[in-house]
Amino acid sequence: MTAILLYPKENLRTMPSQQQETYKVMKSLCVYCGSRPGKDPAFEEAAIAVGKEAARRGCRIVYGGGKMGLMGATAGAARDAGGDVFGVIPDFLVELEGILEGVDHKIVDTMHGAKC
C-alpha cells in the first residue's frame, strides 16, 4: 500500500527506510475553487494558508490561471512564499480575470482545453 501525502521531503529522510517506501511525496496540487473570495473571510484565509503550505512543502500549485478569487489567492500565496505555480486559462478569461504575474501559464482556446 502506498500513501500519497503532501509531506515535507526532508521529513521522509528522517523516517526508517522501510517506512519511507510506503510514502510518495505529492509533487503537484490542483486547485479548483471559487473565482471569487466568497462572503466569509475564512475562505480566503484558508486558500492563502494552503498556498503557503504547499510552497513550504515543495508542492507545485496547478490552478485556473486567473488572479481573482480563491484560486488567485492560493496561487498568489504560493508564489509569494517562493513556490512553483502553473496556471491554465482559456484566452477569453485572460481579459476578464487577468493573469497572475510571476507564474508560468498556458493559455488555451477553450474551457474544455483548460480542464484536459
Q: DSSP letter for 112, please.
A: H
CATH number at residue 95: 3.40.50.450
Query: Can you tell me which residue has the cell 488555451?
Result: 108
21 assigned to some structural domain: no
In a domain, 62, yes or no: yes
Whole-model pTM above 0.85? Answer: no
64 close to 98: Cβ distance less than 8 angstroms = no
pLDDT, tens digit, 9 for 90 and up, residues 41-82: 999 999 999 999 999 989 999 999 889 999 999 999 999 999
Cβ 8 vs Cβ 24: under 8 Å: no
Residues spanned by the domain of 82? 27-115
Mean pLDDT of the chain: 82
Q: Is residue 60 part of a domain?
A: yes
User: The dihedral of CA 69, 74, 77, 78: what is its sign?
Assistant: negative
Residue 110 has pLDDT above 70, yes or no: yes
For the chain, the domain total comes to 1
Cα distance between residue 64 and residue 43, in whole Å? 17
